[in-house]
């Protein structure tokens, strides 16, 4: 008669019971097998033959006798095997991640589904660590029960680092070539207003930099011409800060001492944007993906925002900007971002290094 290790049956039974409540580990057949093998390698076998009584009765006896020993080793086994899961955990985690994204959209109306997973996951992991949870499903519970966590999450998801006159050569090009060109065109057509859209404006550093340059250039035009800068961002905290216009010295490092003196008011160890510059900028919370684009603009500047988005969303947004621009209007991207898709035929390159493009054709 063949001997049978009854501990294996007991371990399998207990494993099933434990795994019912574990959503955070892989439960595929291969992982289960590994968990059992690991457990059996750490407890002495108890061989029985079916002759030594009915198997069920022996199992029940052994189960009572060795319960704590088997359970302890199973818990260890789950931990060890789950560090290197075979497959299913990936599916479970992906599902939990999708659920998390759906819940965020439901609760806050923000659709992150087309953001780059890699970027989002890295950022969400920071919050998961801060909340001391290990899975997306656990993190979802945190969000459901503690709405303040949303603020923290949005802060890391919409990371809003910026500075005045970031990437100096772009600003030189705007000041010496692009803006004077726009002003000249306007004069020829007898138009009195220049309209700029700063999309993904973070704390206002970029639109205020635009405002400083335009203010200076338009001063020479007397009262003839005005500029209006619409500055938008998805993050309402950033928009609130931008409206205040109060900055630490760090983000002003590229501001010349002449501009600093002329267009900023020192307040303790900070600097407040002067009212004549503030008055040129209108801030608005706006989601580039779902929001209605601003229309009839002479220049769109959207830098260091596309990094979050997948390629097809980037293509879609470039077309949104294309449609927002007047013919011959300009589009400025971040220096690590590229013109993509059909837009390549619809914009000419004005300055490749500075990523400045011009709308050249009406899309059919």
Ligand X SMILES: C[S@@+](CC[C@H](N)C(=O)[O-])C[C@H]1O[C@@H](n2cnc3c(N)ncnc32)[C@H](O)[C@@H]1O
Residues that bind ligand X (CB under 6 A): 158-162, 166, 200-202, 206, 233-235, 238, 287-289, 303-305, 308, 334
Q: Tell me the closest approach of the beta carbon of residue 325 to ligand X, in angstroms.
A: 17
Q: Which CB, 69 or 287, lies closer to ligand X?
A: 287
3-state SS, one letter per residue, for the chain: CCCEEHHHHHHHHHHHHHHHCCCCCCCCHHHHHHHHHHHHCCCCCCEECHHHCCHHHHHHHHHHHHHHHHHHHHHHHHHHHHCCCCCHHHHHHHHHHHHHHHHHHHHHCCCCCCECHHHHHHHHHHHHHHHCCCCHHHHHHHHHHCCHHHHHHHHHHCCCCCCCCCCHHHHHHHHHHHHHHHHHHHHHHCCCEEEEEEECCCCCHHHHHHHHHHHHHHHCCCCCCEEEEEEEECCHHHHHHHHHCEEEHHHHCCCCHHHHHHHEEEECCEEEECHHHHCCEEEEECCCCCCCCCCCEEEEEECCCHHHECHHHHHHHHHHHHHHEEEEEEEEECCCCCCCHHHHHCEEEEECCCCEEEECCCCC
Q: Tell me the closest approach of the beta carbon of residue 175 to ligand X, in angstroms.
A: 17
Q: Which CB, 204 or 329, lies closer to ligand X?
A: 204
Q: Which CB, 10 or 170, lies closer to ligand X?
A: 170
Q: Which CB, 320 or 359, lies closer to ligand X?
A: 320
Q: Which CB, 97 or 112, lies closer to ligand X?
A: 112
Q: What angle do CA 189, 191, 192 make, to 5 degrees?
A: 150
Identify whether the C-beta of residue 65 lies closer than 8 Å to the C-beta of residue 24.
no
Q: Which CB, 43 or 289, lies closer to ligand X?
A: 289
Q: Which CB, 26 or 211, lies closer to ligand X?
A: 211
Q: Tell me the closest approach of the beta carbon of residue 350 to ligand X, in angstroms.
A: 19
Q: Which CB, 230 or 304, lies closer to ligand X?
A: 304
Q: Tell me the closest approach of the beta carbon of residue 162 to ligand X, in angstroms.
A: 3
Q: Which CB, 156 or 246, lies closer to ligand X?
A: 156
Q: Tell me the closest approach of the beta carbon of residue 287 to ligand X, in angstroms.
A: 5
Residues near 219 by beta carbon (within 8 Å), at least 6 away in sequence: none
Q: Tell me the closest approach of the beta carbon of residue 136 to ligand X, in angstroms.
A: 20
Q: Tell me the closest approach of the beta carbon of residue 253 to ligand X, in angstroms.
A: 13
Q: Tell me the closest approach of the beta carbon of residue 326 to ligand X, in angstroms.
A: 22
C-alpha to C-alpha distance for 94 and 88, rounded to whole angstroms: 10
Q: Tell me the closest approach of the beta carbon of residue 166 to ligand X, in angstroms.
A: 5
C-alpha to C-alpha distance for 317 and 295, rounded to whole angstroms: 14
C-alpha to C-alpha distance for 149 and 128, rounded to whole angstroms: 10
């Amino acid at each position: 008669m063949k001997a049978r290790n009854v501990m294996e049956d007991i371990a399998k039974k207990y494993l099933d019971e434990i795994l019912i409540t574990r959503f955070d580990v892989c439960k595929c057949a291969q992982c289960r097998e590994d968990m059992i093998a690991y457990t059996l390698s750490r407890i002495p076998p108890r061989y029985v033959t079916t002759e030594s009584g009915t198997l069920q009765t022996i199992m029940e006896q052994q189960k009572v006798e060795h319960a704590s020993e088997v359970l302890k080793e199973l818990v260890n086994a789950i931990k060890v095997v789950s560090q290197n899961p075979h497959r299913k955990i990936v599916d479970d985690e992906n599902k939990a991640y999708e659920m998390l994204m759906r819940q965020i959209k439901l609760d806050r109306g923000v659709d992150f589904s087309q953001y780059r997973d890699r970027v989002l996951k890295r950022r969400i992991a920071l919050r998961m660590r801060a909340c001391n949870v290990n899975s997306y499903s656990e993190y979802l519970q945190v969000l459901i029960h503690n709405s303040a966590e949303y603020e923290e999450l949005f802060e890391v998801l919409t990371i809003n680092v910026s500075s005045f006159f970031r990437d100096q050569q772009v600003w030189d090009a705007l000041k010496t070539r692009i803006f004077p060109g726009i002003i000249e065109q306007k004069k020829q057509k007898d138009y009195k207003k220049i309209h700029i859209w700063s999309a993904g404006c973070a704390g206002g550093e970029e639109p205020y930099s635009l405002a400083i340059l335009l203010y200076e250039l338009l001063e020479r035009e007397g009262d003839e011409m005005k500029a209006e800068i619409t500055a938008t961002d998805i993050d309402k905290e950033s928009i609130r800060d931008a409206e205040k216009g109060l900055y630490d010295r760090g983000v002003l490092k590229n501001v010349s001492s002449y501009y600093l003196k002329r267009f900023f008011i020192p307040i303790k160890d900070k600097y407040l944007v002067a009212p004549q510059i503030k008055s040129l900028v209108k801030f608005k919370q706006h989601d580039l993906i779902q929001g209605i684009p601003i229309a009839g603009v002479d220049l769109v500047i959207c830098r260091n925002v596309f990094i979050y988005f997948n390629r097809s969303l980037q293509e879609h947004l470039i077309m949104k900007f294309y449609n927002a621009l007047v013919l011959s209007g300009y589009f400025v991207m971040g220096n690590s971002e590229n013109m993509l898709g059909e837009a390549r035929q619809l914009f000419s390159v004005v300055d490749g290094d500075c990523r400045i493009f011009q709308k050249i054709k009406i899309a059919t």
